[in-house]
Amino acid sequence: NGNSSLSNGTNIGYSTPNSIRSNYGGIYGSLTSQNALDDPRKRFLDLLRGRGDGLPQKLRSLEPRLIEQISNEIMDGDPNVRWDDIAGLHHAKKCVNEMVIWPLLRPDIFKGCRSQGRGLLLFGPPGTGKTMIGKAIAGEAKATFFYISATSITSKWIGEGEKLVRALFAVARCRQPAVIFVDEIDSLLSQRGSYSELESSRRIKTQFLIEMEGFDSGNEQVVLIGATNRPQDLDEAARRRLTKRFYIPLPSSEARAWIIKNLLDKEGLFKLSTKDIDRICKLTEGYSGSDMTNLVKDASMGPIREALKQGTEITKLKTEDMRPVTLQDFEDALKEVRPSVSPNQLGQYEQWNNQFGSLS
């Protein structure tokens, strides 16, 4: 029948949910490809409502409402990030490719002594590309991407965290290959003493560890990626399950230059000289990838602000008359966009990396 693709649990297509659409559409705003709701997803949701025979066995015992919410709010069938969108981080990309993407693409080869752990931790300051890497893994491996922030499991899904975790892993298993990305994983798997842990969070954590244990011992093409700015809060049980732990640091000067060029180039606005770029890179020491993106956005407003100041009306402004973005625009933007990571936070990441990191 028309639902046969669901019975084997692998063939359901989805569009990108609004909640996790990413912001790679252009420097002036968050334009993304607007995938229309596709039929397979509708078919899947209809099936859930009807609880028909085509529903994968693994999902039948779960509340349809939860699965529906996961499909709508957490799942992304088309993560639109590729390795080429991510500046720098060459070594991390190479290792992730070998340890995570190849096994997802070729489970038949990566078994036995070649089998890789299914848990990966990305740690480092905020805004350095951890989520981008998660999406790129899913994108490159043509996997379904599930994004959830660990704090939302306890806040937004009050009282349902445990059920949600169970349902999330079950849906991921039906959508293999799959990547489950848990942001702020420290808030879920922290080493707080049991006396101070709320009973409900303790139960969510236990369920989470059980699920991880389950897919680690099976043959499933599901990878869990945890991201954190606070790796030192993770307990030993969490470290044991997140077998590979990659430090994602602030971008190098070269990577910062790449971000500037890439973002401006996309809009045909790149006219800076090598000397200008060198100067901007010197001035942006300590900026994260996300700070750099904000800086470029602000600087690229320079020509518009100037034209308006000279009396041109916004409705009459012609793009062909606008001057290019200059070093001065960046110097002005630097006053507005300050680095978000303080230098003294960096030492603790390096220390943790030396002790527990995979690339140290």
Figure out which of the listed residues 8, 19, 23, 206 binds ligand ADP, where binding follows CB under 6 A. 23
Exposure string over 57-90, b if 16+ CB within 10 A, otherwise e: eebeebebebbebbbebbbbbbbbbebeebbbbe
Question: What token pair was written down for 116?
Answer: 């890789």
CA 200 from chain center: how many Å?
A: 26
Is residue 226 within the footprint of ligand ADP (CB under 6 A)? no
Size of the site for ligand ADP (CB under 6 A): 20
SS3 75: strand
Is residue 139 within the footprint of ligand ADP (CB under 6 A)? no
Task: Choose between 132 and 307: whose C-beta lies nearer to ligand ADP.
Answer: 132
Q: How far apart are CA 51 and CA 297, in angstroms?
A: 47
Task: Choose between 166 and 297: whose C-beta lies nearer to ligand ADP.
Answer: 297
Task: Choose between 25 and 107: whose C-beta lies nearer to ligand ADP.
Answer: 25
Region of 66-74, 92-100, 163-171, 286-294 interacting with ligand ADP (CB under 6 A):
286-294
Contact 274, 237 (CB under 8 A): no
Is residue 132 within the footprint of ligand ADP (CB under 6 A)? yes
Is residue 290 within the footprint of ligand ADP (CB under 6 A)? yes
Q: In what order do the strands lie in the sheet with 119-123?
A: 75-76, 144-149, 178-183, 222-228, 119-123, 244-247
Is residue 129 within the footprint of ligand ADP (CB under 6 A)? yes
Closest separation in Å from C-beta 135 to ligand ADP: 8
Task: Choose between 18 and 328: whose C-beta lies nearer to ligand ADP.
Answer: 18
Q: How many CB atoms lie within 10 A of CB 325?
A: 24
- Which residue(s) pair with 144 in the sheet? 178
Task: Choose between 92 and 204: whose C-beta lies nearer to ligand ADP.
Answer: 92
Contact 284, 316 (CB under 8 A): no
Is residue 177 within the footprint of ligand ADP (CB under 6 A)? no
Region of 80-88, 215-223, 302-310, 334-342 interacting with ligand ADP (CB under 6 A):
80-88
Is residue 228 within the footprint of ligand ADP (CB under 6 A)? no
Closest separation in Å from C-beta 336 to ligand ADP: 17
Contact 116, 110 (CB under 8 A): yes
Is residue 325 within the footprint of ligand ADP (CB under 6 A)? no
SS3 78: coil
Is residue 103 within the footprint of ligand ADP (CB under 6 A)? no
- Binding interface with ligand ADP (CB under 6 A): 22-23, 86-89, 126-132, 227, 251, 255, 259, 289-290, 293
